[in-house]
Amino acid sequence: MARAFLVVMDSVGIGGAPDAGRFFNGAVPDTGANTLGHIAQACAGGRAEAGRSGPLRVPNLAALGLGKAVRLASKLDIGLTGPVTGRWGAATEQSPGKDTPSGHWELAGLVVPWDWTYFPDTVPAFPEDLARRAAEAAGSEGILGNCHASGTEIIARLGAEHMRSGWPICYTSADSVFQIAAHEQSFGLDRLYAMCEALAPHLHAMKVGRVIARPFTGSPEAGFTRTTNRHDYAIRPPAPVLTNWVQDAGRRVHAVGKIGDIFSMEGIDTLSKGGDAELMDHLARLVDEAEEGSLTFANFVEFDSLYGHRRDVSGYARALEWFDARIGALVERLRPGDLMVLTADHGNDPSWTGSDHTRERVPVLCAGVGAGSVGQVGFTDVAASIAAHLGVAERGPGRSFL
């Protein structure tokens, strides 16, 4: 019986979104943003030399058709050559957001049926009643932050005051999120999670996509570091998605990374978490051990969280090259009848202005189903194709490209 592996390279966009002009970083529209294309150009031009050198080296992704997918999406040649042994295409999103839930839900067959709520880039960013609710949920007299911020910057700026006062650090971004940073020891990890759980129903009713616990450790003297104990409290999908379709057919569904958070564990049997290196080990184990007929759904977040938002071109290139080497070894270990689909949920061009995601098409690279183009497809077609491969009933608007 066939197995399927859906692997999301978080934020690895390839440009060309037809509606990019409707999405912004500050006052600048996303028109022309191209995460992979601009990284490749920077590497070729000697502008991404920190910790690596020379042209972007991703031979395994190139063999699956990555270079052809970029040309299809955005007419840009990034110099990836050689024979192509996979099936490839470019996917376009319909949902009215360039955020994590929108991209993942649509890849799983559900177009987001509403507009998300975003907080204004003002100080304060949150309505007074929400700030009061947050303080009450924390058992504190108030909150710190109450603004748009980088997660690493705000704990560096407010971490010491947080430890002195016991007030949680609450902040947001250009995404539809309410983020809470707190020290694992002085504030308490369980207390942070309980605060998020208490606030999530109110924020979800406001159509804020996620409440995110952002724990950190350290001291004012040594500095502060975020830990891997992040937890997202996301709105539940309002209709069945790919994970439900597979589970309802009596098959097993394994989540790797933040997939469990994004889908609120809907249709998921097992969850493996950690940093990207640990997640790759979990994915490798599942390639070897996952049951016949199962779906493994994985997200590798560090392209986005460590390099895209921080506009670190060299770091993003290093991450792509690391991922390419590791994923190539897993493609070689697929069983006859397996399908692995590599794709992304949005862009986050590290050469772009601002620090927000960028609206882009994404690659669709398929291993295990022959070679050739699948053309321009929709995000929902990814779910339909995986359902068709597994032989389970598809209940979304997509059409299989296999």
Annotated binding site: 10, 304, 309, 345-346, 357
Cα separation values, 380 from 3, 152, 347, 373, Å: 19, 34, 17, 17
Task: Show the tokens assigned to 390.
Answer: 């597994």
CA 276 to chain centre: 12
Looking only at the bridges linking them, the beta strands covering 177-183 and 339-343 are unpaired
CA distance 104 to 379: 9
Looking only at the bridges linking them, the beta strands covering 4-9 and 24-25 are unpaired
Q: Are 230 and 211 in contact (CB under 8 A)?
A: no
Annotated binding site for Mn(2+): 10, 304, 309, 345-346, 357
